[in-house]
A = this chain, B = another copy of it.
Amino acid sequence: MGQLTGGDPSLLRRINSAVVLRALRGAQSPTLTDLTRVTGLSRPTVEGVVEGLVNTGLVVEEPAAEGSARRQGRPARRYRFRAEAGYLLGIEIGSHRVSALLSGLDGRIIGAGSKEVSESAPSDERLDKARATVADLLRRAGVPRDSLRAVGVGSPGIVEADGRVRLGTALPGWTGLALGERLRRSFRCPVLVENDANAAAVAEHWKGSATDSDDVVFVLAGLSPGAGSLIGGRLHRGFGGAAGEIGALHLLGRGATPETLLSTTDEPLHPLDEKAVAEVFALAREGDEHAVAAVERFIQRLVHDVAALVLAMDPELVVVGGWAAGLDGVLEPLRRELERYCLRPPRVAQSLLGEAAVATGALRLALDHVEEQLFAVEKTVTARR
């Protein structure tokens, strides 16, 4: 049984503060009277909380609008949440590209940048590209580095809680890399590292295909698919951060390896050679016999992997992203086969965020971190068995 201590008056103050801050963020320059009405708190409580929030710089009194003076007395003071009180970054470190998104404390994106990187680049070079991408972005946006409050990073591989990559075969030198620690040297704020498919799942739930569902499996479809899951709106990382790494399942059968799966010759394809894969799909559309067979193998494998995830997790919705999602003829067979084999087939949708999914999810994780501090209620008062 977890510890649960008796009623704590400072807890009440924190709840009230979080309630007022939420109301401030949700409303258009509310007055103290508005806040009293929305929160159900007493006027003196709201006044005290707002004064405290103004002192921290998170809230500011709005200047009175022209002509808003009431007939009698001065106009009621209006307040607003200062999204510019701090900034957040979402970074994707990918095999071909490093990209970054910048937002204020409201999560609205105010800048973006990216740089190409070779799939064979060593980890130092890849990290340098990430740093350079961020430096460019901050300079262009005129945002000083020390106003960053949190940085989220999405990366391939199994990522430990401290940001170390436990296993990352997709990128050279990635397994064992202390990714979080290395990036923390460039920032004075928390740096949160997350598996790329996990980050993409969070992103689709935030502003993509999954905004209306809390039970989602996001599939990063490629030659070796990965997946991220939300259960009840929360990211399911698994005990060791390896949940959804379904790519190894085919090793148990006598099926093709990822490299031979889509090959139309005896030569294996490089798992990250998206261009060669796209060519196989193009050949298949033209009716090339070997290519058609290869595409069928690829889709069968994807269906099998996704079915395993769906049977294990029973999500409401499957979102398919990654480069393979853009290829013709992937989504329909997937939908049809899941209908056939799953006891309760989920909806299947394509990623809305596409290439931006991982960086967007990384940004959301940074925002989550900051909001947990601003609205730190949940963790404190939840009694767990």
Q: Which residues of A are in contact with B by a Cβ distance under 8 Å?
A: 1, 4-7, 12, 15-16, 18-19, 22, 26, 39-41, 45, 158, 166-167, 215, 227, 229, 231, 233, 236-246, 248-249, 251-253, 300, 303-304, 307-309, 311-316, 337, 341-344, 346, 371, 375, 377-378, 381-385
Quick check: A312 and B309 within 8 Å, CB to CB? Answer: yes
Query: A6, B248: Cβ atoms under 8 Å?
Result: no
Check A381–B381 contact: CB distance below 8 A: yes
* Contact pick for A344, options B15, B215, B242, B311, CB 8 Å: B242
**Inter-chain contacts of A7 with B (CB < 8 A):** 12, 15-16, 41
A346 to B243, CA, bound (A): 12
Q: Is the CB of B314 within 8 A of A308?
A: no
A15, B6: Cα distance in complex, Å: 6
Chain B nearest CB, measured from A70 CB (Å): 28
Copies in the complex: 2
A26–B252 Cα distance when bound, in Å, is 48
- In the assembled complex, 10 residue pairs joining A and B whose CB atoms fall closer than 8 Å, in A order, are A6-B39, A6-B45, A166-B344, A167-B344, A238-B314, A243-B314, A244-B314, A248-B307, A249-B308, A312-B312
Q: Are A167 and B343 in contact (CB under 8 A)?
A: yes
Beyond known contacts A240-B314, A249-B307: 19 more, CB 8 A cutoff: A1-B26, A4-B22, A6-B41, A7-B16, A158-B343, A227-B312, A238-B313, A238-B344, A239-B315, A245-B311, A248-B307, A248-B341, A249-B311, A252-B307, A253-B253, A308-B308, A308-B311, A308-B312, A382-B382
Nearest CB of chain B from residue A322's CB, rounded to whole Å: 17
**Given A236-B231, A378-B384: A311 in contact with B246 (beta carbons within 8 A):** yes
Given A233-B385, A245-B343, A378-B384, A238-B252 contact (CB < 8 Å): no
Which residues of chain B have C-beta atoms less than 8 A from A303's C-beta? 252
A1 with B22, Cβ < 8 A, contacts A308-B311, A381-B382, A385-B233 known: yes
